[in-house]
Amino acid sequence: MKSKYIILFIGALVISPAFLSGQIATKQAGLRTGFRGGIFYQITNESGNAEIGYNAMLSFNNNGIQLTGLRIIYETSLSEISPDLFFAWGYGGHVGFIYADHLGFLGERYSFLGERFCPVFGADGWLAAEYRFRDIPLNISLNIKPYVELTIPSFVKVMPADIGISVSYVF
């Protein structure tokens, strides 16, 4: 089952540059730490006064896999501090599954008889301060990714502060 999701993710990485034909895009791949950390791939291009990035992240947790898609808008509002420091905000969603023998809801623990397959889907937000190194192809970001998710059977999880650090190679 996991191999199908990995093949799907790699296929999306290969196909995605075709949608940006005719535009000059910056690509990056890296790692994000945090509660929902994982590996990610991002394509960013210029759009008016800002840059728009499309991020796909694959996370592994609770014996499951989640695929997150984000649309990120980069603004140069922090250029007074440093010309290489960028503020970013965005939104998106995630879908995946977990295998769990219990779920938590509003501080309560609900146990199952054995592990259970639980599909999850939700909405995500994104706030970040990103530093782009000029001499080396590297970006470092301090970010927060709040989310709301529905776990089937009928559990809602709200994470207002999934704080993480992202490190990516730019190519």
Provide the pLDDT confidence category of residue 68 given band limits of 50, 70 and 90: very high
> Strands, E, within the chain: which ranges?
25-32, 38-47, 50-61, 64-75, 85-105, 108-132, 138-144, 147-151, 155-159, 163-170
Provide the pLDDT confidence category of residue 96 given band limits of 50, 70 and 90: very high
Average pLDDT for the chain? 86
What is the residue range of 84's domain? 2-170
User: Based on the structure, what is the number of domains in the chain?
Assistant: 1
Burial environment of residue 125 by CB neighbours within 10 A (0 to 12, 13 to 18, 19 or more): middle
Look up residue 7 and give its DSSP letter. H
Look up the CATH number of the domain holding residue 160.
2.40.160.20
What CA–CA distance (Å, rounded) separates 42 from 32? 12
Count CB atoms within 10 A of the CB of residue 82.
10
